[in-house]
Structure 1
């Protein structure tokens, strides 16, 4: 049994390292998403470059990268601490993918997917927070930052045992949003409202 947690942690990282943004954008546009738009291989940039359908596919796959290993871990009876490590590993794979020179996306969709098997109510709160903030501001990064900030609080309400791992995961992803945070403070962050005017 001691090898099972290691298998799940490594498997989650490798699955997380598969970049759907790169693959899907090449299928839809024959372009490399890393050289288009913001250069970030994530659903938001895919939306800008390849459209809604491509972005939806990327978001779904990125979320599944987090959800699948954690859900399977539940089925195999892994302890909460190991499940937390599996979730974080999947997100680290997305952020630092071994298949793409350790340069990946920001991990929001994968984190939401990884949190989903922990408690559906937690995921619903996160998605609702993201949707409300985005609807009001039309700024994807702001919606992500607010959702990540609230995630440990929601986790404490629904599944207190996972609060610390979720806090750690959110801090990692927030660090990946450093440039977005600076732009938000300077009121320079890209808005979908501005692009659509």
Structure 2
């Protein structure tokens, strides 16, 4: 990488030092990712504290347990959007705003995706207890490489409709994303997708245990039970 890819604000603050610039980009993305839209929307809609419902996380899947599909959909879109905005903000702060994805030159963008994911899953404002990262991974991949992002969504939808298991759909899409990222772009994006997938698997560790035990609830099961 060259100094031409260091964020302009980092050059001004740190005299062009690469590492501080990348760290600032990571922090900015973390702050965007830590915005708890699920919590804000459910409270605004008079649905109470989403952290006291279902799994207790702030993501769209848990918001859906309130029974309000529109709020859940809005949470999904906004969580994906905050990841996209984080990456685009970092891109605009570079000397080369049209920086393409691919190779080590795009490292600031990959760090932005990671920062947004960490912010969503471990928001400092909520005691580091956030969502599971599916929407954020979608937003990141769509922004970094829209074909890879669309494939992620297609895999999720295929598993969700055939197996009726939201967690299995997310895990399958995340597990296959690095493969498609490598084929479509290169090993750098594949490594980024793999890191996000590992974090997503960690956030779904309880779901994985239930899937193995055969006790994971299917999509719509809770609504039918109620």
Question: 1:126 is matched with which residue?
Answer: 152
- Report 1:56-75 matches (<5 A): 56-75=73-92
The superposition leaves residues 94-134 of structure 1 with CA deviations (integer Å, 9 ceiling, x where unpaired) of 01001111111111101111111211111110001111111
More helix by share: 1
State the Cα distance separating 1:193 from its structure 2 match: 4.1
The superposition leaves residues 134-174 of structure 1 with CA deviations (integer Å, 9 ceiling, x where unpaired) of 11122111110001111101101111131112111110111
Is the contact made by 1:66 and 1:110 (CA closer than 8 Å) also made in structure 2? yes
Question: 1:152 is matched with which residue?
Answer: 178
5+ residue gaps, structure 2, are 1-10, 12-16, 100-104
Alignment partners' CA distance in 2, 1:73 and 1:34: 31
Is the contact made by 1:14 and 1:98 (CA closer than 8 Å) also made in structure 2? no
Decide which structure has the larger Cα Rg and report it.
Answer: 2
State the Cα distance separating 1:196 from its structure 2 match: 4.6
Question: 1:169 is matched with which residue?
Answer: 196
TM-score for both structures, normalised by structure 1: 0.93
Residue 52 (str. 1) matches residue 69 (str. 2) = yes
Question: 1:183 is matched with which residue?
Answer: 210
Alignment partners' CA distance in 2, 1:5 and 1:154: 26
The superposition leaves residues 18-41 of structure 1 with CA deviations (integer Å, 9 ceiling, x where unpaired) of 101111111113400010122121
The count of aligned residue pairs is: 197
Q: CA RMSD in A?
A: 1.6
